[in-house]
Amino acid sequence: MSLPVSQLDALWGPPLARVEATTAIDRVSTDSRGDLAGALFVPLVGERFDGHSFLLAALETAGAVVAQRGRISDAMVARAGELGKPLWAVADTQLAYQQLGRLWRRHLAVPVVAVTGSAGKTTTRELIRALLAPLGPVVASSGNENNDVGVPLTLLKGDTTTAAYVVEMGMRGLGEIERLSRCAEPDVAVITNIGTAHIGPLVPLPLEGRHNARNFLLAVAVAQELGVPVAEPGAAPWAVDVPGGRSRRLQVAGIEVLDETYNASPEAMLAALELLAHQPLAAGARRYAVLGTMLELGEHSLALHRQVAERARQLQLDGLVIVDGGAEGEAMQAAAEGLPRLARVAEPEAAAAPLGAWLCPGDVVLLKASRGVALERLLPLLSCSSGTP
């Protein structure tokens, strides 16, 4: 990276302190604990932290600093002048961080694909990354880098070899997608969870499930928009690496496990149940689900949890374990009455007891819940009974 100081002056105005010899910034950092040599330090402000607390220390090693007005002391300005370090004052360092991401994205001038939606974002992101591989190195969001801090962080990871960006955008509050869109300025926008009528027959897909067929079609549309030919099945661009806990199939003690433990929304829950219901089974084998709660649903939480459990009953699963000791779990249990086997537990590990009595070799079990439930803790405890179906 090489951001000319003159561009930062145009963005934020003249700095409070500067040295004329500083002509460019090599990189951007928000972590005062790391190596700040040559970096522009951006102190972010959160609910439980304020990077400005480390501003004086950062000035000693950083190449330059941007800070919020009202959090800059006279001592900071004086020290920046003594050290010959540029110090810009801005209204909001989070916004400044996003402006830096946008500035670098404009400098590289490569295609930017943005992916958002209430479910399927990460899977679709990885499918797009795989299909764009023929363009060259693709920089994509990783982990939970889909928010006000993660999106500019992703953009700033690009370099002169970068051929394209694939940026995931989450929404935790009103206006976030608008802010992130201003930051990334996407050339192509993908919104998941749209209809899939008449999708027609398809070449085997890289991931299972009707919902992933939709995600794949979105990835194909992006590739076509950017002029990238879609390779034949099995070719390198189809090597999709989806993060753990998503669309993962495991063999555990003779049981087929559909590991969807990473996260859950109502749409994703229903899609996973449909996938389970259509799993081919050996003679006598059965389908089970272990469902934890979906978080952050507000006043609609009980109704949406009932809807998911009702769907499990309608799909005639052979059994359901609900992992929740609260009102949502109670609502799910009531809605699922009528299933051949039904149990409710408070913690993931406790689900091992009913499953141990029910499961036989060849059975398929789906694990799905929000990240906060930590349903993956059940995986090492799964086992088969010695009985018969």
Count how many residues are written for the chain: 389
Whether residue 389 has pLDDT greater than 50: no
Whether residue 274 has pLDDT greater than 50: yes
**Backbone φ, ψ for residue 326 (5° rounding):** -105, -160
- Model-level pTM greater than 0.75? no
Whether residue 192 has pLDDT greater than 90: no
Residue bearing the bigger pLDDT, 49 or 201: 49
Whether residue 385 has pLDDT greater than 50: yes
pLDDT at 250: 84
At the second CATH level, the architecture of 100-238 is 3-Layer(aba) Sandwich (3.40)
Write down the residue that tokens 């928000």 correspond to: 30
pLDDT at 238: 60
pLDDT at 198: 31
Whether residue 386 has pLDDT greater than 50: no
Sign of dihedral through CA atoms 171, 177, 181, 187? positive
As annotated, the residues of the chain forming the CATH 3.40.1190.10 domain(s) are: 100-238
Per-chain mean pLDDT for the chain: 86
**Backbone φ, ψ for residue 191 (5° rounding):** -115, 115
Each residue of 214-231: pLDDT tens digit? 777 788 888 888 888 876
Q: Which CATH superfamily is domain 248-381 in?
A: Mur ligase, C-terminal domain (3.90.190.20)
Q: Topology of 3-91 in CATH? A: 3.40.1390
Give the residue among 316, 372, 327 at the shortest CA–CA distance from 348: 372
pLDDT at 235: 54
Write down the residue that tokens 């070449």 correspond to: 203
Whether residue 142 has pLDDT greater than 60: yes
pLDDT at 195: 37
Task: Give the pLDDT mean for 342-356.
Answer: 95
d(CA 260, CA 151): 25
Could you tell me the pLDDT band of residue 344, with boundaries at 50, 70 and 90? very high
Cβ neighbors of 211 (< 8 A, separation 6 or more) are 119, 120, 268, 271, 274, 275
204-240: b or e for each residue (b if 16 or more CB lie within 10 Å)?
A: ebbbebebbebbbbbbbebbeebebebbeeeeebbeb
Each residue of 29-62: pLDDT tens digit? 999 888 888 899 999 998 888 999 898 889 899 9
As annotated, the residues of the chain forming the CATH 3.90.190.20 domain(s) are: 248-381
pLDDT at 194: 45
What is the layout of strands, in order, in the sheet containing 164-168? 138-140, 164-168, 112-116, 188-191
Residue bearing the bigger pLDDT, 232 or 172: 172
As annotated, the residues of the chain forming the CATH 3.40.1390.10 domain(s) are: 3-91
Could you tell me the pLDDT band of residue 253, with boundaries at 50, 70 and 90? confident
d(CA 213, CA 199): 9
Question: Which range scores top for mean pLDDT: 113-117, 199-203, 295-299, 382-386?
Answer: 113-117
Beta strands at 24-25 and 3-4: parallel, antiparallel or unpaired: antiparallel
